[in-house]
Amino acid sequence: MPFAAGPVRLDRFLADAFPDLTRSQVKRLIDEGAVSLTGSDVKASFKLRGGEQISVVLHEPEPIEAAPEAIPLTVLYEDAALIVIDKPAGLVVHPAPGHPGGTLVNALLHHCDDLAGIGGELRPGIVHRLDKDTSGVLVASKNDQTHLALASQFKSHSIQRRYRALVHGLMKPAEGTVDQAIGRHPVHRKKMSVNCRRGRRAVTHWRVLKQYDQDRLSLVELKLETGRTHQIRVHLASLGYPVVGDPLYGQPRRDRACADVELAGLLRGLSRQFLHARLLGFEHPETGESLVFHAPMPPELQQIIDFLDRKYARDPNGPDSF
């Protein structure tokens, strides 16, 4: 692989060249001798200055087969073309290294007789995703025609998607839009960032529903135009209003530093980020009917909102959505 810029560390260059690999995976490849420079082994810290020829040997990953598993599902709607479920927090959408089973795909394979294969053997029927610790409405297709039609709606941004999040800070202004590209974080390879070399456009609209002055928290409604990895979490963190309980982009000290002792206890007991996909709307690919589905706020999130509302809610806008 030719390289014509420098100087830059070999491991950093390879991490940028192979965005699906983490820095630790790149270092392992180098340590195992899978990376060579002009035919010789080289260290991760080697400085590239341009013109070098790098050889990387990537071994085929061990195959992972998705098998049906009797995992309970909350089904909001189902017909011969598609299924809409209320995904709980903690459920990974599809198998991957580190999560070979116990996923939504495994549950769907058990629940449904047939799922579209166009998403790949490990992602049958999966048109879009929710993060592991984000709950809410998700649709899956049962045949290839439905999959293509739904994917087209997502691509054209005609899908309605509304999320609720509790964030740190009294968010100002009361409503607005983030239009910032998102790509792989330049250093932390498991994270996404707005400060990236090669990002894809991402647009998130927000509206503040309630604010809780005592502990400087805001309940926010979010509307997506695009669907990038970790989009809401990255955009909110970039504004300085991280999602409560977010282990990757959040601020754990702020989760624990609430002035209200009872609230601090509720937040410490939260094993997920406070982000919920409450609404999904789309046109049925076969009937053309406009469908809108809602998922109620999960109990572990609702009890926090109820506690905050009882003590010191302030509603800056009136309407509870947009």
The residues annotated with a catalytic role in the active site are 131
Dist. CA 28–CA 47, nearest whole Å: 18
Closest CA to 139 of 164, 110, 160: 160
Closest CA to 67 of 25, 115, 30, 20: 115
Which residues pair with residue 193 across a beta bridge?
183
Burial of 273 (0-12, 13-18, 19+ CB in 10 A): buried
Q: What angle do CA 109, 298, 66 make, to 5 degrees?
A: 15
Read off the tokens for 242: 């991280």
309 and 210 Cβ atoms separated by less than 8 Å: yes
Closest CA to 103 of 121, 91, 112: 91
Read off the tokens for 158: 């005609």
| Cα 219 to the center of its chain, rounded Å | 19
Read off the tokens for 291: 């469908």
108 and 122 Cβ atoms separated by less than 8 Å: no
Q: In the chain, where does DSSP find H-type helix?
A: 10-17, 23-31, 104-111, 144-155, 231-239, 252-256, 261-268, 299-312
Dist. CA 279–CA 277, nearest whole Å: 6
Output the CA–CA distances (angstroms, integers) from residue 77 to 5, 74, 83, 196, in the order listed.
Answer: 53, 9, 6, 39
